[in-house]
Amino acid sequence: MSKAASLHPKGIEAGDHEAYMRLALSLATKSPPKPTNYRVGALVLDVATNEILATGYTLELPGNTHAEQCCFQKLSEKYNVAPEHLSQALPDEVALYTSVEPCSKRLSGNTPCVDRILAIGKRISTVYVGVKEPEKFVSDNSSSRKLNDAGINVVHVGGLEKDILEVATAGHEKPR
């Protein structure tokens, strides 16, 4: 990529998926360590302009909120639309970066993050994930399959798995 390539205000070049995943990981560190959830960071990026539209992390907003959910709630407020109408407000192509694969089931009864993504539809063209969701709380997370079936690409951004899992599981009892 040339030096003339678009730069994000934080200095991240368009297409630098590892740098965006590192940013998502840094957001995850803001989440309080608890034995009952993963610490996850996420961001929504306008692909055309390389502008971050929203960021979020687990438990950032009131309620038992996940990182992706926090992003979507902020976008809903930013564009002054109900969450179910975000597809009408977002730019044509956005990408979601999340340190841990979006959940496909919520034990709390909240809407799973994959269903929130699917409700937004094809405006989200790609979901970049740092690690698959560990099977501690919900086994057989089907979100990648559901997203792919809906025509949304799921791309693993490798190289940060150890760091992501260390942050995600802070506060959990370590196996002996």
| pLDDT string in tens for the chain (176-residue length) | 333 333 455 689 999 999 999 999 999 999 999 988 899 999 999 999 999 999 999 999 998 899 999 999 999 999 999 988 999 999 999 999 999 999 988 777 789 999 999 999 889 999 999 998 665 555 566 889 999 999 999 999 999 999 999 999 998 887 66
Handedness of CA 56, 58, 132, 22 (dihedral sign): positive
Q: In the block, which residue shows the tokens 């560190």? A: 29
pLDDT tens figures, 26-54? 999 999 999 888 999 999 999 999 999 99
Q: Which domains does the chain have, with CATH numbers?
A: 17-168 (3.40.140.10)
Furthest C-alpha separation in the chain? 51
Confirm if 58 and 38 have CB atoms less than 8 A apart: yes
Q: What pTM did the predictor assign?
A: 0.90
Is there a catalytic annotation at residue 68? yes
What's the sign of the alpha-carbon dihedral 74, 75, 80, 83?
negative
Give the closest residue to 118 by CA, choosing from 96, 141, 134.
96
Q: Active-site residue among 13, 60, 68, 93? A: 68
| Short-list 64, 48, 160, 74, CA closest to 103 | 64
Task: Tell me the pairing of strands 41-46 and 51-57.
Answer: antiparallel
What is the pLDDT, as a whole number, of residue 5? 37
